[in-house]
Amino acid sequence: MTALLDPGTFNGTVYSGGWTVPSGGSRAIIEPATGAELGRTGLADESDVDKAAAGAAAAQRDWAAASFEERAGVLRRAGTLVEQHFEEIKTWVIRETGAVVGAAEFFVGVAAQECYEAAALASQPPGQLLPTNQPRLSMLKRVPAGVVGVISPFNVPLILSIRSVAPALALGNAVVLKPDPRTPVSGGFAIARVFAEAGLPDGLLHVLPGGPEAGSALVADPHVRVISFTGSTAAGRKVGELAARHLKRAHLELGGNSALIVLDDVDVERAVSAGAWGSFLHQGQICMTTGRHLVHERVADSYVEAPAEHAGHLPVGNPHTDQVALGPLIDEGQLNKVHGLVRSTVDAGARLASGGTYEGLFYRPTVLDAVGTDMPAYANEVFGPVAPVVRFSSEEEAAALASASEYGLSLSILTGDAMRGLALAERIPTGIAHINDQTVNDEAVAPFGGVAASGTGARFGGLSNMDAFTETRWITVRGEIPQYPF
**Residues with active-site annotation:** 253, 287
**Residue 412: partners with Cβ closer than 8 Å, 6 or more residues away:** 258, 259, 260, 261, 274, 278, 290, 433, 434, 435, 437, 438, 439
Site for ligand NAD contains 63 (CB under 6 A): no
What phi and psi, each to the nearest 5 degrees, are found at residue 115?
Answer: -70, -45
State how far the Cα of 50 lies from the Cα of 351, in Å rounded to an integer: 52
Site for ligand NAD contains 12 (CB under 6 A): no
Q: Please return the burial class of 207, using the count of CB atoms within 10 Å of its CB with bins 0-12, 13-18 and 19+.
A: buried
Site for ligand NAD contains 232 (CB under 6 A): yes
State how far the Cα of 321 lies from the Cα of 114, in Å rounded to an integer: 29
Taking the CA atoms of residue 146, residue 467, residue 278 and residue 190 in that order, the dihedral angle to the nearest 10 degrees is: -30
- The distance of closest approach from Cβ of residue 245 to ligand NAD in the complex, given in angstroms and rounded to an integer, is 13
- The distance of closest approach from Cβ of residue 149 to ligand NAD in the complex, given in angstroms and rounded to an integer, is 9
User: Among residues 145 and 151, whose Cβ is nearest to ligand NAD?
Assistant: 151
User: Among residues 253 and 369, whose Cβ is nearest to ligand NAD?
Assistant: 253
Q: How far apart are the first and last CA of the chain?
A: 72
CA distances from 44 to 24, 202, 203 (A): 5, 19, 16
Site for ligand NAD contains 283 (CB under 6 A): no
| 256, 284, 388, 421: residue in contact with ligand NAD (rule CB under 6 A) | 256
User: Among residues 93 and 219, whose Cβ is nearest to ligand NAD?
Assistant: 219
Strand, coil or helix: what is 185?
Answer: helix
User: Among residues 198 and 409, whose Cβ is nearest to ligand NAD?
Assistant: 409
- Helix/strand number for the chain, H first, E second: 17, 23
CA 26 distance to own-chain centroid: 25
- Whether 279 contacts 286, CB under 8 Å: no
Stretch that binds ligand NAD, among 85-93, 232-240, 318-326, 391-399 (CB under 6 A): 232-240
Q: Per CB under 6 A, which of residues 161..190 are in contact with ligand NAD?
A: 178, 180
For residue 243, give the nearest of 218, 213, 219, 217 by alpha carbon.
219
DSSP-assigned beta bridge partners for residue 408: 451
**Residue of this chain nearest to ligand NAD (CB atom):** 215
Stretch that binds ligand NAD, among 46-54, 100-108, 212-220, 344-352 (CB under 6 A): 212-220
| 72, 81, 171, 239: residue in contact with ligand NAD (rule CB under 6 A) | 239
Site for ligand NAD contains 461 (CB under 6 A): no
For residue 41, give the nearest of 233, 218, 198, 177 by alpha carbon.
177
For residue 256, give the nearest of 457, 453, 458, 456 by alpha carbon.
453
Site for ligand NAD contains 22 (CB under 6 A): no
- Whether 295 contacts 263, CB under 8 Å: no
| 166, 175, 235, 402: residue in contact with ligand NAD (rule CB under 6 A) | 235
Question: What track of x and - describes contact with ligand NAD for positions 380 through 409 (by CB under 6 A)?
Answer: -x-x-------------------------x
Concatenated DSSP letters of 339-396: HHHHHHHHHTT-EEEE---EETTEEPPEEEES--TTSHHHHS---SSEEEEEEESSHH
- The distance of closest approach from Cβ of residue 381 to ligand NAD in the complex, given in angstroms and rounded to an integer, is 5
- The distance of closest approach from Cβ of residue 202 to ligand NAD in the complex, given in angstroms and rounded to an integer, is 25
| 111, 194, 205, 254: residue in contact with ligand NAD (rule CB under 6 A) | 254
User: Among residues 56 and 81, whose Cβ is nearest to ligand NAD?
Assistant: 56
Give the interface size with ligand NAD as a residue count (CB under 6 A). Answer: 30
| 98, 231, 365, 408: residue in contact with ligand NAD (rule CB under 6 A) | 231
- The distance of closest approach from Cβ of residue 452 to ligand NAD in the complex, given in angstroms and rounded to an integer, is 12
- The distance of closest approach from Cβ of residue 213 to ligand NAD in the complex, given in angstroms and rounded to an integer, is 8
Q: Per CB under 6 A, which of residues 106..165 are in contact with ligand NAD?
A: 151-155, 160
- Tell me which residues touch ligand NAD (CB under 6 A): 151-155, 160, 178, 180, 211-212, 215-216, 219, 230-232, 235, 238-239, 253-256, 287, 381, 383, 409, 450, 454-455
